Structure 1
């Protein structure tokens, strides 16, 4: 019932926005003075109105991020917040995986590449290891959909998540926020800007995100607490310092230092939580209970530090910008992968056919980036920018397999090192042909290389090792047109070629696989409208793309290994809508929806499947004694066909610059497959979540007090699975609730 109500509400919200288009020419400006603000983005590496960007981009502001992060949520909470965006992870609160318009990578390994890039304060976070850096003191987050290979480089054929934190200014400003909720949740966040001299200012910000253990390991293994809860905790501490120096009107510099220290529980796999022939969680599932004989309660630890320097000099006609960035990180962790106990009695709900326990003994990551960019200034008819970029990365990953029953010494140890580097040159130009028509074109040349060397230190085959290298060079480009029909309506069209570099997967030696580069041709067209004399905004996009040599990761079947494969082609097409409207009487509404259809096109491609305990619906081919599924025509994994989001806000003035406020927000993903092959159990129907927040604020004194509830209906949504022969799944966050106090100055 709730699913139907949410779908109707979202469609109604879009309809309200669309109705604004029909009324835009007749609405009286005197009837309402409150409207939606213009949104300024930097999606094309320069500040401009979002309606001037000739492709689909959506921006999330500080308030939105504040609301969805209450209760301890991490970057996974961005999923479905904008059309066509999916975020998931089987690595707990770090190493998230992003998907845009269905394009992503399900590989759980730190060395995996993704077709969605994350850029934080102009520095690319290339490794999946870095993409889980917590969101705090964020000014704006932009989601750029479609290939972005011209200005943002390699591994962006699906799009970019662009995050900009709050920078120092000339004024003494800041805030402090404290949230306390159930499950022992505490979130403390602060940010303060301090002008030090006429030319020097500093921004210091920090985050402490905490939750107590709230899940009991009822198997009571030797490492479990027989009298208390064992899993679900985390402590995530992060800090950032910006130091801005502007010695002259032309020269500006920004030094940024960051650090993170995370210690918590990884993904909690739950054995036998599905029943053969059904994709619904069954009676074996209990949010507050697991049965683990291995994994040492699925602990995780991660430390990250970074440094970056941005220097810009304004020559008048153009500005030269240089950016140097460096990231360092280390981590360790363990997990009961099967999610149950192999030695349990045959009738036990947590009985598994075998034990599987593995984790990271240690990892060491080093990433360096260098960028130099020269861009024209002003609003002249001709605008341009050119630049060069270099990126290098070294990751050493030592992984261990254990006996699965609490043994401290691994039965297999694999030590791998992967070195990667990429350099590129790029340029973009735009030309305003008439006052209404603007054309933009860009091109980028990229040279990529990866070198892998790995060996089995302990275990079978003793001394097993592998070494390989991959490399490629590609040209990415895009051409777009933006046409202004009138002051309230722009039309755009874009053709773009994207590129993801070749990949290597060798975590599970002696299995060592590679994948060739994939290239994407994308076509999209749409509109960006400002309606009802500024009281509403509506954007729409229709797109189609084709991927050649599409990279996929075939995980498991029965052995939980990763194998890289290339499909001949992948295809996708869809429609996206999003917008905002001020309804009057203190009510405002924002909503978005997307339909994304994806399809694998390769008549010869076969992948391993789960054991006999699941219901595979693909054609089966026997390869020796092993079952393989033909996946031609299947959707991409973790690619919802439908996504939607809706937020309703209400503000009631109380006098003396105080007000009451309330909001509710909802997201939905519908019809998505967890794996490359299709089975009844692993094809998910509809997943949704809602949140509520209400409170009081004093605008003069900068005070705000609020109460919140996240996952209001305590939905139990399957977000991933382990396709062993025991139908193991992992699910979304539980319902959280609490209070939040904020002071701004």
Structure 2
């Protein structure tokens, strides 16, 4: 993989970073004397992004964006971690999962979805090589052989196709080129961790090029099951592989990029641990040992996905026509011991702690397919006005199996089965334009009309104990339309400083939830719940600047958003069900900072920071509390706990990240370097209600990499560590039974060798 030399600010100049946000600060920087040494100093390369569906300098785009480079991705992913390693690595981004590697949940500016059902929709859209990945199981495709990742904060509903009221996380794979090139990377680490990735590509003929990329990751179980009669001896291991092949055709006035990709995951599901939270606090219970559990249920996770896309472009001079066709499919089964222990209180032996009743369940996706098609026409006039317009089509068919098992019977037999089926069809028409009012002022705006239709049915085929009887199908249909839009302005104070303002409206279509096995027998429509569509309006103003002769780059913005009819979900409670709700309103406000600078010619530092203050505003909205053991601090009403005024779940107020890279020349073409990275997030609520126990402590995780590169970077060997302080935190909970939680990844250390050609 090509690793661009990371870019680094002189200490005395760092003090003027905030001053540079103001006109007089900029003038000061412009008027400062520049020495010959400074002119020859290391400078930052221009960062190009496709946030507006065309290649632009990130400093010119009126959106709050962070771009993660290929080198940074190499460092963050060196321990074999999945896409969750991006959490907290850019401002306002949080990622968590109760499924482990299979089902990441993304949050931007506090907006996300804690729903664990395979039919959950998320307000953060993940776009991989211009194709939306709608199913939660598609969003965890491994991170390898990428050019960059872009995180776009705020509604992006004009130019992107599905559910973007919170923002977009955009992945761009390394493309085929006309030069034969490639790389190989092999790492070995803690718990027999192996991590291999590589790619090779080049020309096939005068018009065709290709690139093949592959990834293989594995790790042994690092948690021991101390329950002698358990069905498994250990947990938390995995075996994962993925591959991508691309073919590029370059003609005189036509270009086609064709992509096939596949993923296979075999491992253990998220490991739930019974009664690990000390009642009345969010501390671990005394004597907690992260390396041991005692469970009687089965635990496994397997997932297969594959897909393909065709990205075509016809050049007509001043106009270009784009066609993007995508197909994705997934098949999975994920099974876990939900009660987190063994036995039950009515048996002679159970634990750890109180196990009111046994619970073991699984969710599977036996049938899934997604088809997307976009046609887009884009102008490239020499004048002041340019535009793009197009149409988009989306179709998804899914079938979801939900199973319950009897952990107390020999062989853990099945004891309940429900099925959900949904067909979702949507289409949209959109247009966007930009106008250069003057050489300094540029206006942009866009509009999108969306029609979204869902046909859903759910049935209980085999009743679970204490749950809903056999019944169904219970049917729900939704059919809505909406208009999203955005308006923005960029004012260039000079060649290095841009101020911008943006207002945008986003939309998320209705969601349907049919997790029926534990629904009450009298539940309306069998327990199927629906959340109506939500709308968000976001406002932000900011500045983007290249500072100190391009030795530093700054992005800063403040924002506020209002969500009407926000879709939320009451997860868990007295039974293992999930109920969709709409909050009358929620609000969020804060700021985001991205800073990258050369402190010296050898030291590159990046700093990201964000503040997100979120609040649910609905005086009449109540939710159930936990099933047992926790201390809810919200007011109790006859219908449940009032959550008016609570922050959104999994929405930390503060996110900070810092990286530093220091290089030491070791002769011609050789370098010794040290790279460290740190990510902090403040406390988070796990659920809609507030309690003393289900509130995650603040977290600070760091990484370290010491490497030696030679032959001008063609070869490299490195020692690395992830979570080097071995911090242990409870990062999520199961609230329907006892004080069950799950924890973060442990420390990993290892060695890596890479070569490129």
TM superposition score normalised by structure 1: 0.95
Residue 424 of structure 1 corresponds to 428
1:600 and 2:605 aligned: no
User: Counterpart of 2:589 in 1: which secondary structure?
Assistant: strand
Counterpart check, 1:260 vs 2:263: yes
The CA deviation at 1:114 is 0.5
Corresponding residue number in structure 1 for 2:521: none
CA distance in 1, matches of 2:219, 2:81: 10
Give the corresponding residue for 2:166.
158
1:452-531 correspondence runs (5 A):
452-459=456-463, 460-509=468-517, 510-531=526-547
Q: Matches of 2:439 and 2:140 in 1, distance apart?
A: 43
What does residue range 180-191 of structure 1 map to in structure 2 within 5 Å? Answer: 180-191=188-199
Equivalence for 2:520: none
Specify the SS of the correspondent of 2:638: strand
Match of 1:662 among 669, 674, 682: 674
- Are 1:640 and 2:629 counterparts? no
Q: Give 1:680 shift.
A: 1.1
CA contact (8 A) 1:107 1:553 kept: yes
1:70 maps onto 2:74 in alignment: no
Matched residue, 1:399: 402
Residues 162-219 of structure 1: per-residue CA shift (max 9 Å, x gap): 0000000100010000010011100100011121111101000000011011111111
In structure 2, C-alpha distance between the alignment counterparts of 1:391 and 1:45, rounded to whole Å = 18
Aligned twin of 2:309: 308
8 Å CA contact 2:715–2:755 kept in 1: the answer is yes
Which of 736, 740, 743 is matched with 2:752 structurally? 740
Deviation at 1:362, TM superposition (A): 4.6
Q: Does the CA-based 8 Å contact 1:334-1:358 persist in structure 2? A: yes
Residue of structure 2 equivalent to 1:566: 582
Matched, 1:278 2:287: no
Q: 1:380 and 1:110, CA in 2 relative to 1: closer, same or farther beyond 3 A?
A: farther
Whether 1:588 and 2:604 are equivalent positions in the alignment is: yes
Give me the whole-angstrom Cα distance separating, in 1, the residues matched to 2:568 and 2:713: 53
Equivalent residue in structure 2 for 1:126, among 120, 123, 134? 134
Q: Distance in 1 between matches of 2:309 and 2:710?
A: 37
Moved more, 191-200 or 515-524: 191-200
Q: Paired residues, what number?
A: 724
Cα shift at 1:17 = 4.1
Secondary structure of the structure 2 residue equivalent to 1:529: strand
CA distance in 2, matches of 1:363, 1:109: 14
Provide the C-alpha distance between the structure 2 equivalents of 1:151 and 1:93, rounded to a whole number of angstroms: 29
Cα distance change, pair 160–512 in 1 and its aligned pair in 2 (3 A): same
CA-CA distance at 1:463 after TM superposition: 2.9
Q: State the alpha-carbon separation in 2 of the partners of residues 739 and 27 from structure 1.
A: 45
How far did residue 15 of structure 1 move?
Answer: 5.6
Q: How far off its partner does 1:153 sit?
A: 2.8
8 Å CA contact retained: 1:369, 1:390: yes
Q: Following the alignment from structure 2 to structure 1, what is the Cα–Cα distance between the partners of residues 127 and 209?
A: 24
Partner residue, 2:724: 712
The answer to whether 1:549 aligns with 2:565 is: yes
From the superposition, tell whether residues 584 and 13 of structure 1 become closer, same or farther in structure 2 (CA, over 3 Å).
closer
Residue in structure 2 matched with residue 5 of structure 1 by the alignment: none
Whole-Å Cα distance in 2 between the matches of residues 494 and 232 of structure 1? 44
1:95 maps to 2:107: no
CA distance in 2 between partners of 1:329 and 1:27 (Å) = 59
1:251 maps to which residue? 254
CA distance in 2, matches of 1:176, 1:611: 50
Instruction: Provide the C-alpha distance between the structure 2 equivalents of 1:725 and 1:680, rounded to a whole number of angstroms.
Output: 16
SS in 2 for 1:24: helix
Match of 2:414 in 1: 410
For 2:579 and 2:213, the matched residues in 1 are separated by 41
Structure 1, unmatched stretches of 5+, are 1-10
Q: CA deviation at 1:518?
A: 0.2
What pairs with 1:23-42 in structure 2 (closer than 5 Å)? 24-25=29-30, 26-32=32-38, 33-42=41-50
Query: How far off is 1:70 after superposition?
Result: 1.1
Point out the more displaced range, 460-469 or 715-724.
460-469
Q: CA RMSD in A?
A: 1.7
Partner Cα distance (2:602, 2:695) in 1: 41
When residues 487 and 29 of structure 1 are mapped into structure 2, their CA distance, relative to the original with a 3 A threshold, is farther
Q: Mark the CA change 1:13 to 1:600 in structure 2 (over 3 Å): closer, same or farther.
A: farther
2:304 pairs with 1:292: no
Alignment CA distance shift 1:130-1:85 (3 Å): same
Counterpart Cα distance in 2 of 1:126 and 1:348: 39
Q: 2: CA distance between counterparts of 1:302 and 1:676?
A: 30
Preserved contact between residue 17 and residue 536 of structure 1 (Cα < 8 Å): no
Q: 3-state SS of the aligned residue for 1:31?
A: helix
Name the residue aligned to 1:207: 215
Alignment correspondent of 2:18: 18
| Alpha-carbon distance between aligned partners in 2 of 1:107 and 1:285, rounded to the nearest angstrom | 28
Map Cα deviations across residues 692-742 of structure 1 (whole Å, 9 max, x no partner): 001100143600100000001011122111113421111110000000100
Partner of 1:609: 625
> Does the alignment pair 1:53 with 2:61?
yes
- Indicate whether 1:539 and 2:577 are aligned: no
CA separation of 1:678 and 1:14: change in aligned 2, threshold 3 A: farther
Does the 8 Å CA contact 2:330/2:365 hold for their aligned counterparts? no
Match of 2:437 in 1: 433
Give a deviation string over 1:382-419, Cα, whole Å, max 9, x none: 11000000000011111101113364431110111111
The residue number in structure 1 matching 2:331 is: 330
Contact 2:341 2:350 in 1 (8 A): no
Shift of 1:508: 2.1
Q: 1:660 to 1:27 in 2, by over 3 A?
A: farther
CA deviations 1:410-435 (Å, max 9, x no partner) are 11101111110110000000001000
Provide closer, same or farther for how the CA distance between residues 167 and 434 of structure 1 changes in structure 2, counting only shifts above 3 A.
same
Distance 1:568 1:27, change over 3 A: farther
More deviation in 355-364 or 125-134? 355-364
State the alpha-carbon separation in 2 of the partners of residues 306 and 612 from structure 1. 43
For residues 462 and 542 of structure 1, do their structure 2 counterparts lie closer, same or farther at Cα, with a shift above 3 Å needed? same
Q: Offset of 1:352 from its aligned partner? A: 1.4
Which whole-Å CA distance do the structure 1 matches of 2:563 and 2:33 have between them? 45
SS in 2 for 1:411: strand
1:109–1:718 distance in 2 versus 1, CA, 3 Å: same
Match of 1:382 among 367, 382, 385: 385
The 1-side partners of 2:42 and 2:365 are apart by: 55
Query: Could you list the per-position Cα deviations for residues 258-297 of structure 1 after superposition, in whole angstroms to 9, with x for gaps in the alignment?
Result: 1111101111111111111111222253211111111x1x
Q: Is the 8 A contact 1:27 1:533 kept in 2?
A: no
